[in-house]
Amino acid sequence: MEANKLKADLVISNCTQLLTCKENAIDLIGKIDQGWIAIEGEKIVAVGTKEDVQNIVEYDEDCVIDGSGKIVLPGFVDCHTHLVFGGSRVKEYAARMITDDPNMLKKMGIKTGIMATVDMTRDIEAELLFDDAADRLKYMLLAGTTTVESKSGYGLTTSSEIKMLKINQKLNDVLPIDIVSTFLGAHGWPEDIPKDKYVHMLIWEMIPWVAELGLAKFCDVWCDDGHYTAKESEKILSAAKDAGMEPKIHTDAYSYIGGSDLAAEMEMVSADHLNYTPRSVMGKLKEGNVTGVLLPAIDFAVKHPKPFNPRPMIEEGMTLALATNCCPGCFNTSLQFVMMLACRQHGMSAAEAVRAATIGGAKALGLQKDRGSLEVGKLADIQIWDASTYEDVIYRLGVNLVDKVIKRGEIVVENNSCKLFLQKHTL
């Protein structure tokens, strides 16, 4: 090996467009035409032109992937999902195409909402929950996602919430995709327990157990009319922060009751939904370094009366992320689909959408130091699209552009199949 040169294990050459998505990219996506990228082990060791890379590394020809006619960019970071759940709400979803009348739905024998899923999730064995979640993760990986946040919140008892979080842990341990776990015990509250009693249980029983077992990086609360107030949310999230979990918040989805102000005050890692957030609060979120997580697919799935508007958030300088919100009421595993919606339905540009699904998602999970962009020293989490320009992702409707996915330096998706996926494991 030539002195002072690194030995690359994998090189992607002649990329038609290499999108680095670096934070300081003037064009938002850091596009390099005819770019090259080199990988050693799990990390990126060189990025740039052919000359830039060849000056730093040497490599064997059999470890080169030809990027001609391809778009190369960071793996997606899906920073808001409810990945683990039992059963299906397909009957409810289909019925709501015709009516939202709760009495009509009741006559049809259809139980709706979070509590319907809670009932189905509590009653299902952990092994089946694991298998179903793994299947959803497979489709996420096939569509270019390499890191996924997964919330609990369909148990609402200590034992069932811990069951969900342990499934997150096992998924992370055995699959070629990173899972970031969030405790969302405050997704609702059981029908047979008063809310104040359940809040006490969250603070004095559930949060301490989750923290002691080390099962969640984040704690989340749904702060909205009919859910948790800003004061209750602050109480719950302060207890979680004291226990070592970082706070996140579902807020302003259907009302503005102060949840986004709380996010700014507590300098949370993210505030998610933001349909009703006043512009005056957007500036506070920017100053508090709070990433705004936007969820186009749920706005589409529920035919939201007030779809989020990203433009004032962008003008206020907020960092934005896009996520699937994969859940029983929004069964979606593709961030490519989310980007299509974000651009057509909400007025984002293709470059803004790419940035929000990569480095934006990483920031919403506090992971921007090691993923979300293609830079030296970061994880080699990379997707390769069979496309002539990155704008194809919002133009070629219903098409999965992914040709290959590389996770931590290893090819895990090729020819529309997942490698290393899935061996049987006992929970």
pLDDT digits (tens, 9 = 90+) for 15-54: 999 999 999 999 999 999 999 999 999 999 999 999 999 9
Fold of 6-73+373-418: Urease, subunit C; domain 1 (2.30.40)
Q: Which amino acid is at 348?
A: M
Handedness of CA 236, 241, 246, 247 (dihedral sign): positive
For 187-211, the pLDDT digits (tens) are: 999 999 999 999 999 999 999 999 9
Mean pLDDT is lowest, of 134-138, 170-174, 416-420, for: 416-420
Burial label for 95, CB within 10 Å (0-12, 13-18, 19+), is: middle
Distance CA 73, CA 35 (A): 11
- Reported as a single tens digit per residue, the pLDDT across 160-183 is 999 999 999 999 999 999 999 999
Amino acid code (one letter) for 404? K
Higher pLDDT, 417 or 326: 326
Q: Which two tokens stand for residue 200?
A: 């006490």
CA distance linking residue 317 with residue 310, whole number of Å: 11
Lowest average pLDDT, out of 178-182, 216-220, 418-422, goes to 418-422
Count the helix, strand and coil residues of the chain and give each as a percent rounded to the nearest 5. 35, 25, 40
> Mean of the per-residue pLDDT values for the chain?
94
Q: How far apart are CA 64 and CA 9, in angstroms?
A: 9
* Beta-carbon-side half-sphere exposure of residue 178 (alpha carbons within 13 Å): 21
CA atoms of 243 and 208, how far apart (whole Å): 7
Which residues have CB under 8 Å from 303's CB, separation 6+? Answer: none
Distance, CA of 338 to CA of 321 (rounded, Å): 11
Residue tagged 């970071």 (tokens): 77
Instruction: Please name the fold of domain 77-365.
Output: TIM Barrel (3.20.20)
All CATH 2.30.40.10 domain ranges in the chain, comma separated:
6-73+373-418
Distance between CA 416 and CA 385 in Å, rounded?
A: 12
Residue length of the chain: 427
Determine the 3-state secondary structure of 32 from DSSP.
strand
CA distance 134 to 284: 38
At 42 the pLDDT is: 97
Which residues of the chain form CATH 3.20.20.140?
77-365
